[in-house]
Structures are given as structure tokens and as C-alpha cells.
């Protein structure tokens, strides 16, 4: 049983948890509308759906109620605030740099449906970009996850024969399966170290 030669990481929900920051930025730019939504409710109901649908849901909750189109005008302000805040203090998973360093026997990649212009500056700001031998972003392959293209591209760039994928979403896992790669599923960045350790150990491998 051959060990893995590469580890391909999804970005959001695996290396970083940006949802609390997205939520905080929305609440800040929409403050005047007094929308009574908590982070817990946001995570349960609105993560993974489009901003447009979310704002259409938020409109009737405002005091007084407004339509989603009114709230949508604040989209550019939210985007800019998120960009600033995320670069100031990227919400990385715990001990991420040390963990990536400990994987120095493996080729590493970031494989995300998010855009290069959003993610690459965060990798730079966090001082972790140099760990990754391949970066595959949204719109850089013919098809996005759940198609196999992004993970196949990453393995190809790395020259990896037996990669392990680390994912938090159904679409990402379907992409890994379609590529024919093993995967570890995590619920949050805090679970990544253990999930990777377990998967590597199951193949008789190790890391320092
Ligand atoms: Mg994800």
C-alpha cells in the first residue's frame, strides 16, 4: 500500500474560516437596518447560498422591513470591508503554518472555487503561500467542483501520483471522488491536522 505523495487542500472551511468575518462585515454595513440575525443563525441558514438570496431573506427581517434590492446596494461596501479586514487579520485555522511545515515530505496544493484575486493575497499576508507547489482557483479549469477538473489539475501541476484531498463540502468531496482521489472530510479548520494525520497513518505513512 503506497503512501500519499501530495495533500490537496480546499481553502474556505479547511485552511481558513471566513464565515464569521463575512457575517460581521454584513452586519456592520447593514447596521442601520437593524436586522436581528446571529452568527449561529447565519451559519445554519445562509452559508452556501447566494448573497442575493440571503439579502432577500434579510429584507423582511429589517426594522422597518425593506426589499432585498435596497440591501444589495451595500454589496460593494461589504466586499471592500471584507477585503480590508481579511488582509489585516486572516482567520486562519489554529497552528496552520506549523502544521504545513510539518508536511514537508509532501507536495501541497490549494484547490478552491474562489478567485485568485481574493485568495492569493490572503496566502501572502499569512506568510504561507510558499508551502504550496500548486494553486488552482475558480475559473482556471474548464469546470469547477463538483467536476474533477480542479483536483486533477492540481495533481498534474504537482506531478502527484497519489494525492490526499482535504475538504469540508459535498461539492468538494464529489470532485475528489470523480478525480479518483482519497479524501478526508473535516467540519472546520480545527479538525484538519487530525484528519490528515489519520489518513496518512491509515496508509502506513507519517510526518514529523
Ligand atoms: Mg470549503
The DSSP element (H or E) to which 51 belongs, if any, is: helix 51-58
Ligand 1 center to residue 54 CA distance, Å?
19
Ligand 1 center to residue 160 CA distance, Å?
22
The reported pLDDT for the residue numbered 208 is 56
Q: What is the pLDDT of residues 86-133, one digit of tens each?
A: 999 899 988 999 999 999 999 999 999 888 988 999 999 999 999 999
Number of structural domains the chain divides into: 2
Among the listed residues 168, 194, 163, the one whose alpha carbon sits nearest the alpha carbon of residue 48: 168
Residues 190 and 169 in one domain: yes
Q: List the 6-9 sheet strands across, edge first.
A: 134-136, 107-111, 6-9, 163-167, 182-185
Ligand 1 center to residue 41 CA distance, Å?
19
Residues 79 and 159 in one domain: no
Four-residue CA torsion sign, 158, 164, 170, 174: positive
Q: What is the pLDDT of residues 30-84, one digit of tens each?
A: 999 999 999 999 999 998 778 899 999 999 999 999 999 999 999 999 999 999 9
Residues 33 and 107 in one domain: no
Among the listed residues 114, 174, 104, the one whose alpha carbon sits nearest the alpha carbon of residue 146: 174
Instruction: Give percent of the chain with pLDDT exceeding 90.
Output: 86
- Residue 12 phi, psi dihedral angles, 5° rounding: -70, 130
In-domain check, residue 1 = no
Confidence of residue 1 (pLDDT cuts 50, 70, 90): low
The DSSP element (H or E) to which 176 belongs, if any, is: helix 170-179
CA separation for the pair 45, 144 (Å, rounded): 24
Q: What is the DSSP letter of 9?
A: E
Average pLDDT over residues 184-197: 95
Residues 110 and 129 in one domain: yes
Q: Under 8 Å CB-to-CB from 85, ≥6 apart: which residues?
A: 21, 24, 25
CA separation for the pair 64, 29 (Å, rounded): 16
CA separation for the pair 181, 165 (Å, rounded): 7
Ligand 1 center to residue 179 CA distance, Å?
17
Q: Are 42 and 24 in contact (CB under 8 A)?
A: no
Residues 28 and 106 in one domain: no
Q: What is the residue range of 198's domain?
A: 6-17+92-202
Residues 13 and 54 in one domain: no
In-domain check, residue 48 = yes
Cell numbers standing for residue 142: 474548464
CA separation for the pair 147, 139 (Å, rounded): 12
Full-model pTM: 0.86
Ligand 1 center to residue 63 CA distance, Å?
33
The reported pLDDT for the residue numbered 204 is 77
Ligand 1 center to residue 67 CA distance, Å?
30
Provide the CB-side half-sphere exposure for 103 (13 A, CA).
28
Residues 99 and 182 in one domain: yes
Residues 77 and 104 in one domain: no
The reported pLDDT for the residue numbered 61 is 98
Ligand 1 center to residue 168 CA distance, Å?
5
Amino acid at each position: 500500500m503506497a503512501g500519499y505523495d501530495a495533500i490537496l487542500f480546499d481553502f474556505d472551511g479547511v485552511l481558513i474560516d471566513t464565515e464569521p468575518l463575512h457575517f460581521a462585515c454584513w452586519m456592520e454595513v447593514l447596521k442601520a437596518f437593524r436586522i436581528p440575525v446571529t452568527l449561529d443563525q447565519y451559519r445554519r441558514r445562509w452559508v452556501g447560498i447566494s448573497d442575493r438570496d440571503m439579502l432577500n431573506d434579510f429584507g423582511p427581517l429589517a426594522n422597518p422591513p425593506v426589499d432585498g434590492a435596497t440591501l444589495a446596494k451595500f454589496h460593494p461596501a461589504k466586499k471592500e470591508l471584507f477585503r480590508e479586514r481579511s488582509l489585516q487579520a486572516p482567520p486562519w485555522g489554529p497552528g496552520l503554518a506549523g502544521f504545513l511545515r510539518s508536511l514537508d515530505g509532501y507536495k501541497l496544493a490549494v484547490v478552491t472555487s474562489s478567485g485568485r484575486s481574493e485568495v492569493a493575497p490572503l496566502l501572502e499576508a499569512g506568510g504561507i503561500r510558499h508551502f504550496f507547489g500548486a494553486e488552482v482557483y475558480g475559473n482556471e479549469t474548464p469546470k469547477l467542483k463538483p467536476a474533477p477538473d480542479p483536483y486533477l489539475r492540481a495533481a498534474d501541476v504537482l506531478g502527484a501520483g497519489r494525492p490526499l484531498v482535504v475538504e469540508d463540502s459535498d461539492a468538494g468531496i464529489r470532485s475528489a471522488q470523480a478525480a479518483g482521489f482519497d479524501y478526508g472530510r473535516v467540519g472546520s479548520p480545527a479538525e484538519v491536522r487530525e484528519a490528515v494525520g489519520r489518513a496518512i497513518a491509515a496508509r502506513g505513512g507519517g510526518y514529523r
